[in-house]
Chains A and B, each alone.
Chain A
Amino acid sequence: MPGIFQSLTHLLIRNCFARLARMDAILLAIVVVLSTIGFIALFSAGMAQPQRVHDQVRNLIVAGSVLLVVLNIPMKFWQKIALPVFIAGCVLLVATLLVGITTKGATRWLWIGVRIQPSEIMKLSAPLMLAWYYQKRCDSICIWDHVLACILLLIPVGLILKQPDLGTSLLVVIAGLSVIYFAGLNKRIIIGAILAFLASLPILWTFLHEYQRQRVMTLLDPTQDPLGKGFHINQALIAIGSGGFSGKGWMEGTQAHLNFIPEKTSDFLFAVYSEEFGFVGNLILLGLFLALIGRSFYIAGNANTLFERLTAGAIGTIFFTYTFVNMGMVSGILPVVGVPLPFMSYGGTALLILGTCTGILLSISAESKKLQRY
């Protein structure tokens, strides 16, 4: 008995080392560097809230562990659980609407022993399910598959919109649509859909909640109401702008340290970073994120199966969406939506999802036959 156990453990560890040796070290390096920079910025932003810094250390350790575990899970496993997780997620979303916790007018949380936000699961679960679907139909994908994929995607999106949570539903939509796009949806249809979307914007406007409209209005002119709705964005702009070319220096940001930046450890962490490290720091960060997205796409391009390709492509798109929406929001070119900066912002759930995403990418790279040449 102990012998069997020993050899099993041995096998597992060997397998683990084998995967570690075969995975894409560059992607991991980029993620480690980003997390390190993120923690440095968070350390400065969290001067007045040392608990946040401690918690983030814990979050990083947990996310890192999750990453290592996911790395060792074969992609076949994800393919198997994609649909059940998606269905479970939809059930949870329905449950949230029925018996969820309402805070600040939005019903986004569910109590199941711990407080969870089911919409977060959907960010990864929806693209996984779609990738699974396309993998299943890989030999004969036709236009109706795309239609069905869109309908499947609309189920969780609709449920999340109802909470209401425009930001998250947008992220789920983009992640899902990226899968459909990578699966080969006709370009003419894509262009047509984009045009139709733009044309329907005025109609969509009427469906938006008052607070959502105000956010858009604030984006258009943040100075209009400097102490009200525009306050957050104005202070963030002052922080970024006053950082200048080379920044005020680590721990020297006045906007951050005197509490002028709202949510400075989470959604607005980029403003803190930007104030202290300046334009140069921003370019370095943009470069790192660009590398992260490019490397994700590279892994996608070299993956073995359609499921893996689509998953990796979707994850790259998720990284991009998070980064662009967060930076765009903080620098005042996008409306304020609650999207964290990947690998940097404070927050356990977000890091957990990002760790899982990275783990999946590394798992794909470790299994890739094409990447085994090196």
Chain B
Amino acid sequence: MSLDFKDDDKDVRPFKMRLLFLFGIVCVLFTLLAARFAWLQIINQGAYLEKAERNRTVTVTTQGARGLIFDRNGELIAKNRVAYSLEITPDQVKNVNKTIDALATVIPITSADRRRFRRLRENFHRYTSIPIRQNLTDQEVATFIGQSWRFPGVDINQREYRVYPAGSTGAHFLGYIGSISQNDLKRLQKEGKLNDYDGERVIGKVGIERSYEPVLHGRPGYETLEVTAAGRAVRTLDYLPARPGKNLQLSIDMNLQRITENALKGKQGAVIAIEPGTGEILAFVSVPTYDPNLFPGGIDPVSWNELNTSPSKPLLNRAMRGIYPIGSTYKPFMALAGLETGATSANYTLNDTGSFKVGNHTFRDMARIPKGQVNLRRSLAISSDVYYYWLATKMGIDTIYDFMKPWRFGQKTGIDLIGEQSGLLPSRAWKESRLKTPWYMGDTPSIGIGQGYNSFTLLQLANATATLANRGVMMTPHLVRTTIDPTTSETSAVQNKPAEVIPLKKANINLVTQGMVDVTKIGTARRSFTNFPFDVAGKTGTAQVVSIAQDSRYDASKVARRHHDHALFIAFAPAKAPKIAVAVLVENGGFGAAAAAPIARTMMDYWLTGKNSLGLPPPAYLRTAADSPKSASKR
């Protein structure tokens, strides 16, 4: 459109010039606007489009439920419970402490709650909500909601909690979950699994919970929502459902576990029971124990301190992390070694005078009593030290080491738990490289009676006992029998695979087994096994904690409790077709026959006959179809 200036009178001409001039300015300014639009919409479109997308979408992460854990009889020992928790987001609160004080007037908050909150706060970002109170009752939830306007930045959230219904029973194999720490994050990052823990707050810390973390932990789900400026969801743009973790069935029998822990009440020690034919662990005990329920919601610092500084070390897994000399329980393996290598025979007889001389050094029998004529079978029954001083000296350290190595003494057994200790199977090479001294003749006799440099875990001893019971076929000890996918109900059983097959002569195994049966019939442990309906192959052990000076006597009454001997006992039964192999250790318990053997008897009673003092039903495999309570209730 053009302005027409053709036939103007002079009056209007300057006015039209001014119109034109102003229109020019308008054009310039509109060009400026057009340039601005081009800058926003063409040059920077990408950036703004991304901002618009980020504006309108919110991704919500949901965690798949953690897998449940059952014992071999289907008893639930780790489950999830949904509960309300009162949470504070520090970033949205002006003064956290004042807020907590104000909250305490509405809902009871203990000082332990406060301490736990402080501890958790160190672990999480300012903008994550941190629980101040957990497991709110419905009444408390209602009370808070009525007052919630007073507390910006404080919310009630539904959270899933891990609960261990059996409490402290079995805590050492079961372990626990706890808040994800910086170390956990680093580990997850290294493993490339950080994304799987998006929005997750807990992770397995020890035991099964830690070792089977990848199985128990599900995959998080994502839901991308379109939201309004006010945060209201309009529709779902993208959805990936969370996948729950897999359930585990353990080989543990919780009743046997209970009976064992009960038998060890008030003591420090460890017990492992293994089914020799499969390597399945039936009981895995370490006492004292602790309540794993303290951990999932974040443990308060006082309880944590108590557990850590207690002299009885309740957090120490004595069954696979404690390292001990095993004393005379080593003798059956030494006997087998002697027979297999030809160092001794069934008929060889030795006069036990109560002491044994190597060079200038005299090795004494622990009991200091001369035992007279002793052959191999009798050496086990009465636990002759002199016989094994002699045998070890005759075999020499290298032969002993070579024989014992496949039994995994001083090595990891390969149990399906993280954190197993190795201990030490002494050898010439080890001593030369670590202690920088040669192996002396005088080092060998103590090896024969399970003392000296020998230091093993109880798990190794239990594993070796089960291997002996299984006639040289070592099944890898394990706790998990099957994993069950909760969505498809698909189960996958853990393969029972021989870890090692140690070639042994039938006659030699039989002879050693006979010697061990003598132990419970006429030998050192006979008192503990009176009137037992099955043959039990056992061996007592009493391990010195401190070395006794050459000419002094060990007198329990004069030695501090923590220097008392450890009591040990290994056994398997029935001797001909073993169903169970156990290794018992009672720290500072004194004589193995007195302190450890009765515990094994209690376990054998239950496992083989169903007898127990706790009123528990007999083991599942003993119940026939006719009298099992299950089929009875079905009728």
**B-contacting residues of A (Cβ < 8 Å)?**
26, 178, 181-182, 184, 235, 237-245, 254-255, 258-260, 274, 278-279, 282-283, 286, 289-291, 293-295, 297-298, 300-302, 309, 313, 316-317, 320, 324, 327-328, 331-333
B-chain residues with CB within 8 Å of residue A258 when the two chains form the complex = 55-56, 226-229, 234
A-chain residues with CB within 8 Å of residue B15 when the two chains form the complex = 182, 184, 300-301, 309, 313
B-chain residues with CB within 8 Å of residue A240 when the two chains form the complex = 37, 40-41, 48
Interface pair B3/A297, CB less than 8 Å apart = yes
B-chain residues with CB within 8 Å of residue A235 when the two chains form the complex = 55, 229
- Other than the given A279-B37, A286-B33, 8 more pairs (CB < 8 A) read A26-B1, A238-B55, A241-B48, A259-B229, A274-B37, A286-B30, A295-B1, A313-B15
Interface pair B51/A333, CB less than 8 Å apart = no
Pick from B4, B12, B49, B55: contact of A244, CB under 8 Å: B49
Residue of B nearest to A178 (CB): B22
Residue of A nearest to B32 (CB): A333
A-chain residues with CB within 8 Å of residue B48 when the two chains form the complex = 237-238, 240-242
Q: A258-B226, A259-B229 are in contact. Are A294 and B33 (CB under 8 A)?
A: no
A-chain residues with CB within 8 Å of residue B27 when the two chains form the complex = 290
B-chain residues with CB within 8 Å of residue A333 when the two chains form the complex = 32-33, 36
Pick from B34, B45, B52: contact of A286, CB under 8 Å: B34
Residue of A nearest to B25 (CB): A320
**Closest 9 pairs between A and B when the two form their complex, measured CB to CB:** A241-B48, A242-B52, A259-B229, A279-B41, A244-B45, A241-B40, A242-B48, A242-B49, A297-B19
CA gap between A201 and B99 in the complex, in Å: 48
Interface string of B559-595 (1 = CB under 8 A from A): 0000000000000000000000000000000000000
Interface pair B26/A290, CB less than 8 Å apart = yes
CA gap between A260 and B12 in the complex, in Å: 50
Q: A184-B14, A320-B26 are in contact. Are A302 and B4 (CB under 8 A)?
A: yes
CA gap between A208 and B18 in the complex, in Å: 32
CA gap between A300 and B21 in the complex, in Å: 14
Interface pair B23/A297, CB less than 8 Å apart = yes
Residue of B nearest to A309 (CB): B15
Interface pair B56/A254, CB less than 8 Å apart = yes
In angstroms, how far is the closest chain B Cβ from the Cβ of A308? 11
CA gap between A260 and B22 in the complex, in Å: 37
Interface pair B33/A328, CB less than 8 Å apart = yes
Pick from A182, A241, A278, A283: contact of B18, CB under 8 Å: A182
Interface pair A181/B22, CB less than 8 Å apart = yes
B-chain residues with CB within 8 Å of residue A245 when the two chains form the complex = 41-42, 45
In angstroms, how far is the closest chain B Cβ from the Cβ of A150? 17
A-chain residues with CB within 8 Å of residue B23 when the two chains form the complex = 293-294, 297
In angstroms, how far is the closest chain A Cβ from the Cβ of B35? 10
In angstroms, how far is the closest chain B Cβ from the Cβ of A369? 12
**18 pairs, A vs B, C-beta closer than 8 Å:** A235-B55, A238-B52, A241-B47, A245-B41, A245-B42, A255-B52, A260-B52, A278-B41, A286-B34, A290-B30, A293-B26, A294-B1, A301-B3, A301-B5, A301-B19, A313-B22, A320-B26, A320-B29
Pick from B14, B38, B49: contact of A279, CB under 8 Å: B38
CB of B125 within 8 Å of the partner chain: no
In angstroms, how far is the closest chain B Cβ from the Cβ of A301? 5
Interface string of B455-472 (1 = CB under 8 A from A): 000000000000000000
A-chain residues with CB within 8 Å of residue B41 when the two chains form the complex = 240-241, 243-245, 274, 278-279, 282
A-chain residues with CB within 8 Å of residue B34 when the two chains form the complex = 282-283, 286
CA gap between A316 and B22 in the complex, in Å: 10
In angstroms, how far is the closest chain A Cβ from the Cβ of B5? 8
Interface pair B14/A241, CB less than 8 Å apart = no
B-chain residues with CB within 8 Å of residue A313 when the two chains form the complex = 15, 18-19, 22
A-chain residues with CB within 8 Å of residue B51 when the two chains form the complex = 238, 241-242
CA gap between A213 and B234 in the complex, in Å: 37
Residue of B nearest to A333 (CB): B36
Interface pair A181/B18, CB less than 8 Å apart = yes
A-chain residues with CB within 8 Å of residue B36 when the two chains form the complex = 328, 331-333
In angstroms, how far is the closest chain B Cβ from the Cβ of A1? 47
A-chain residues with CB within 8 Å of residue B20 when the two chains form the complex = 297
CA gap between A300 and B51 in the complex, in Å: 46
In angstroms, how far is the closest chain A Cβ from the Cβ of B4? 7
CA gap between A21 and B63 in the complex, in Å: 74
CA gap between A295 and B45 in the complex, in Å: 34
Pick from A26, A290, A301, A327: contact of B12, CB under 8 Å: A301
CB of B16 within 8 Å of the partner chain: yes
Residue of B nearest to A185 (CB): B18
A-chain residues with CB within 8 Å of residue B3 when the two chains form the complex = 294, 297-298, 301
Q: A255-B55, A298-B3, A327-B33 are in contact. Are A244 and B26 (CB under 8 A)?
A: no
Q: A293-B23, A297-B23 are in contact. Are A260 and B33 (CB under 8 A)?
A: no
B-chain residues with CB within 8 Å of residue A238 when the two chains form the complex = 48, 51-52, 55
CB of B158 within 8 Å of the partner chain: no
CA gap between A286 and B26 in the complex, in Å: 11
Interface pair B37/A282, CB less than 8 Å apart = yes
CB of B303 within 8 Å of the partner chain: no
In angstroms, how far is the closest chain A Cβ from the Cβ of B538? 75
B-chain residues with CB within 8 Å of residue A237 when the two chains form the complex = 40, 48
In angstroms, how far is the closest chain B Cβ from the Cβ of A275? 8
Interface pair A300/B26, CB less than 8 Å apart = no
In angstroms, how far is the closest chain A Cβ from the Cβ of B39? 9
Interface pair B52/A324, CB less than 8 Å apart = no
In angstroms, how far is the closest chain B Cβ from the Cβ of A50? 17
B-chain residues with CB within 8 Å of residue A279 when the two chains form the complex = 37-38, 41-42
B-chain residues with CB within 8 Å of residue A259 when the two chains form the complex = 228-230
CA gap between A313 and B23 in the complex, in Å: 10
CA gap between A337 and B37 in the complex, in Å: 19
Interface pair A241/B49, CB less than 8 Å apart = yes
In angstroms, how far is the closest chain A Cβ from the Cβ of B201? 28
Pick from A241, A242, A317: contact of B22, CB under 8 Å: A317
CA gap between A259 and B38 in the complex, in Å: 24
Residue of A nearest to B1 (CB): A294
In angstroms, how far is the closest chain B Cβ from the Cβ of A202? 24
Interface string of B512-542 (1 = CB under 8 A from A): 0000000000000000000000000000000
In angstroms, how far is the closest chain A Cβ from the Cβ of B191? 37
In angstroms, how far is the closest chain A Cβ from the Cβ of B32? 8
B-chain residues with CB within 8 Å of residue A255 when the two chains form the complex = 52, 55-56
CA gap between A159 and B544 in the complex, in Å: 104
Interface string of B209-244 (1 = CB under 8 A from A): 000000000000000001111100010000000000
B-chain residues with CB within 8 Å of residue A278 when the two chains form the complex = 41
CA gap between A301 and B45 in the complex, in Å: 41
In angstroms, how far is the closest chain B Cβ from the Cβ of A128? 17
Pick from A26, A295, A301, A324: contact of B16, CB under 8 Å: A301
CA gap between A254 and B48 in the complex, in Å: 12
Q: A178-B22, A181-B22, A182-B15 are in contact. Are A331 and B29 (CB under 8 A)?
A: no
CA gap between A240 and B34 in the complex, in Å: 12
In angstroms, how far is the closest chain B Cβ from the Cβ of A344? 15
